[in-house]
Amino acid sequence: MKKSFVLSLFLVMLVPGLARALECPEAVESTPADLVQFLEMQARTADPECVTRAIGRLGEFRSPLGTAVLVEVLDFRRPDSEVEKLHAFDAHDRFPAVPALFGVGSPAVPALLLKLENVKTSPTARSNGIRAIAFIYRESPPEAVKIMKKAASTAKDQGDAVRLESSAKDAVAFCSEKWRAQCENEAK
């Protein structure tokens, strides 16, 4: 009885994913350049499941080529998974561009900083941009704060500087207790 329940639950989660994979060949069998083009052209209009897969696939390549488009979809929220629909925990990030940018690593930071300083950046994209930088510098969280502060000090205008200063202060929340004092010091 228990085995059949587990198998049924597994199939409920697996079958829709397989069906979507067949509907989204560009998201599973494309080159980084093709994925970038797909996301640039259709990220806001295509099937959200397909967009989620394309973002994830682009992140798997860890190519800086995808940075600009990944930064532009920082506020794209993937649809709830079958597991989440059953009110269970799903370890996948609700905003797939964050782990994808983490995969790109430090080459993504300049584009993320530009996004953080932009007055038109949505609060969700801003929060996710800060989180992406914090993840990239997870081994040394004070470095993430320091980079944002440095960008603020060299910003072209006062508004950009204020937004980057604010981002640096918000990044302190991602510093563990071990790093908190250093992060706070960098944010000053």
Summarize pLDDT for 81-121 with one digit per residue, the tens: 787 778 787 678 899 999 999 999 999 999 999 999 999 99
- Alpha-carbon gap, residue 125 to 95, rounded angstroms: 9
Residue 81 Cα distances to 25, 76, 125, 130, 133, angstroms: 20, 15, 21, 25, 26
- Alpha-carbon gap, residue 92 to 102, rounded angstroms: 14
Instruction: State pLDDT tens for residues 127-161.
Output: 999 999 999 999 999 999 999 999 999 999 999 99
Q: Is the pTM of this model over 0.75?
A: yes
Residue 126 counted as domain residue: no
Residue 184 counted as domain residue: no
- Alpha-carbon gap, residue 155 to 83, rounded angstroms: 43
Residue 150 counted as domain residue: no
Residue 137 counted as domain residue: no
- Alpha-carbon gap, residue 142 to 129, rounded angstroms: 16
Residue 182 counted as domain residue: no
Residue 26: band (very low, low, confident or very high) from pLDDT cuts 50, 70, 90 = low
Domain interval for residue 65: 2-104
Residue 95 counted as domain residue: yes
Domain count for the chain, please give it: 1
Residue 176 CA neighbour count, 13 Å, CB half? 6
Q: What token pair was written down for 139?
A: 């081994």
CA angle centred on 98, ends 118 and 111, rounded to 5°: 35
Residue 83 counted as domain residue: yes
Average pLDDT over residues 47-71: 94
